[in-house]
Amino acid sequence: MKGTWPEKVARLRRVIVDILPIDVHCTQPLAPDALPLAGADCLVSCFCLESVSPDLPAFTRALGHIGKLLRPGGHLLLIGALGESYYFGGPGVRIPVVPLNEAQVCDSLKESGFTLIRLEVYTLSAVTDELPSRSQSPESGLLSSLESGLKRRFKW
């Protein structure tokens, strides 16, 4: 996606037509008529499942619940941080998360019926208690992460 950050924001606002409330800990995370009958082509979870799950079993169950929302052959893009116990929600705000490692994520995906297509792990050079400045736009890292994905495996 080329262009300035405001141009990208404007483009996203044109193409995203709705944002749906979801409860990943319910066996039916969305209203039954929220998606096409065949299911979603793609779902994105960006630093979400690990922050709303109190532990590893809940994280694994949440993966299974959202997997039911995908059409056969649909994709899940799962973005998160490994080994973290919290995320910053703003200055002085820490959001607790399940500290997952790579093996736990892979095992949870497999247990939930996903087939891993590609896994990329990035190492950040320094961790601070400050949020990145506006000049350190997250777009480059996020767009690189968007190249990875997961494919739902269905048994018929």
Coil, strand, or helix at residue 58? helix
- Of 63-67, 82-86, 112-116, 134-138, least confident by mean pLDDT is 134-138
User: What predicted TM-score, i.e. pTM, was given to this entire model?
Assistant: 0.70
User: Given a cut of 80, is residue 104 above it in pLDDT?
Assistant: yes
Return the pLDDT at 59: 96
User: Given a cut of 90, is residue 19 above it in pLDDT?
Assistant: no
Q: How big is the chain, counted in residues?
A: 156
> What does CATH list as the number for 39-152?
3.40.50.150
Q: pLDDT class for 18, splitting at 50, 70, 90?
A: confident
Residues whose CB is less than 8 angstroms from the CB of residue 1 and which lie 6 or more positions away in sequence, other chains included = 8, 11, 143
Return the pLDDT at 108: 96
Output the six-digit token pair for 152.
């739902």
Q: pLDDT class for 156, splitting at 50, 70, 90?
A: very low
Mean model confidence pLDDT for the chain: 80
Region 133-152: mean pLDDT is 37
Antiparallel, parallel or unpaired: β 150-152 and 70-79: antiparallel
Return the pLDDT at 125: 61
- Domain ranges for the chain: 39-152
d(Cα 80, Cα 61) in Å, to the nearest integer?
Answer: 17
